[in-house]
Structure 1
Amino acid sequence: MGNWEGVTEFVAVAETGSFTVASKQLGISTAQVSRQVSALEKRLATRLFYRTTRKVSVTDAGQTYYQHCRPVLDGLEEAERALSQLQSEPRGKLKITAPTLYGESRIAPLLNNFVARFPELDVQFSLTNQKVDLVEGGFDLAIRLGKLESSSMMAKRLASRHQYVCAAPDYIATHGKPRTLTDLAHHNCLLGTLDYWRFQENGHERVIRVHGNIRCNSGQVLLDAALKGLGIVQLPDTYIEPYISKGTLISLLQDFQPSDEGVWAIYPHNRHLSPKVRLLVDYLGESLQSL
Structure 2
Amino acid sequence: MECDNHLNSAIIFLWIGIIMDRLEAMASLLAVVDTGSFSAASRKMRVPVTTVSRRVAELEAHLRTKLLHRTTRKVTLTDTGAPYVLACRKVLEQIGEAERNAAGEYQSPRGELTVTAPLVFGRMHLVPVIADFMAQFVDVRLNCRFHDRNLDLQDEGIDVAIRVGPLPDSSWRAQRICAIRRVVCASPDYLARRGKPLTLADLEAHDCVGFHGFDPNGSWLFPSAQGASVVPIRSRIMFDTIESAIDAGIAGMGLIRVLSYHVGPAIRSGVLQEVLAEFSPPEVPVQIIHRHEGLVPLKVRTFVDFAVPRLRTALAL
TM-score, normalising length: structure 2: 0.56
| 3-state SS of 2:238 partner | coil
Describe the shift of the 1:245–1:140 C-alpha distance in structure 2 as closer, same or farther (beyond 3 A): closer
- The answer to whether 1:250 aligns with 2:250 is no
**Residue matched to 1:220:** 243
**Residue matched to 2:4:** none
**CA–CA distance in structure 2, aligned partners of residues 165 and 148 of structure 1:** 23
**Residue matched to 2:111:** 92
Query: Conserved in 2, the CA contact under 8 Å of 1:199 and 1:206?
Result: yes
**Residue matched to 2:157:** 138
Match of 2:135 among 93, 116, 128: 116
Alignment-mate amino acid for residue 153 of structure 2:
L
Structure 1 residue runs without a partner (length 5+) = 1-65
Alignment-mate amino acid for residue 254 of structure 1:
A
Match of 1:102 among 97, 100, 121: 121
Describe the shift of the 1:244–1:287 C-alpha distance in structure 2 as closer, same or farther (beyond 3 A): closer
Describe the shift of the 1:157–1:137 C-alpha distance in structure 2 as closer, same or farther (beyond 3 A): same
Alignment-mate amino acid for residue 266 of structure 1:
I
**CA–CA distance in structure 2, aligned partners of residues 151 and 177 of structure 1:** 42
User: Which range moved further: 109-118 or 167-176?
Assistant: 167-176
**CA–CA distance in structure 2, aligned partners of residues 263 and 270 of structure 1:** 22
Describe the shift of the 1:153–1:104 C-alpha distance in structure 2 as closer, same or farther (beyond 3 A): farther
**Residue matched to 2:168:** 150
| 3-state SS of 1:122 partner | strand
**Which structure is larger by alpha-carbon Rg, 1 or 2?**
1
Query: Conserved in 2, the CA contact under 8 Å of 1:103 and 1:127?
Result: yes
**Residue matched to 2:304:** 281
Q: Deviations over 1:213-255 (max 9, x none)?
A: 3333311111122123222111233432343344432221122
Q: Deviations over 1:241-279 (max 9, x none)?
A: 343344432221122233433222234564454342133
**CA–CA distance in structure 1, aligned partners of residues 311 and 288 of structure 2:** 12
TM-score, normalising length: structure 1: 0.60
Structure 2 residue runs without a partner (length 5+) = 1-82
Alignment-mate amino acid for residue 148 of structure 2:
N
Describe the shift of the 1:117–1:249 C-alpha distance in structure 2 as closer, same or farther (beyond 3 A): closer
| 3-state SS of 1:215 partner | strand
**CA–CA distance in structure 1, aligned partners of residues 238 and 197 of structure 2:** 20
Query: What is the root-mean-square deviation of aligned Cα atoms in Å?
Result: 3.8
List structure 1 segments (4+ residues) > 6 angstroms apart after TM superposition.
83-86
Query: Conserved in 1, the CA contact under 8 Å of 2:106 and 2:297?
Result: no
**CA–CA distance in structure 1, aligned partners of residues 299 and 221 of structure 2:** 37
Query: Conserved in 2, the CA contact under 8 Å of 1:177 and 1:252?
Result: yes
| 3-state SS of 1:214 partner | strand
1:141 shift after superposition: 1.8
Corresponding pairs, count: 221
Describe the shift of the 1:209–1:151 C-alpha distance in structure 2 as closer, same or farther (beyond 3 A): farther
Q: How many percent identity over aligned positions? A: 29
Alignment-mate amino acid for residue 232 of structure 1:
L
Match of 2:214 among 175, 194, 207: 194
Query: Conserved in 2, the CA contact under 8 Å of 1:199 and 1:259?
Result: no
1:106 shift after superposition: 1.7
Describe the shift of the 1:118–1:247 C-alpha distance in structure 2 as closer, same or farther (beyond 3 A): closer
Query: Conserved in 1, the CA contact under 8 Å of 2:171 and 2:291?
Result: yes
| 3-state SS of 2:237 partner | coil
Query: Conserved in 2, the CA contact under 8 Å of 1:153 and 1:267?
Result: no
**CA–CA distance in structure 2, aligned partners of residues 131 and 271 of structure 1:** 24
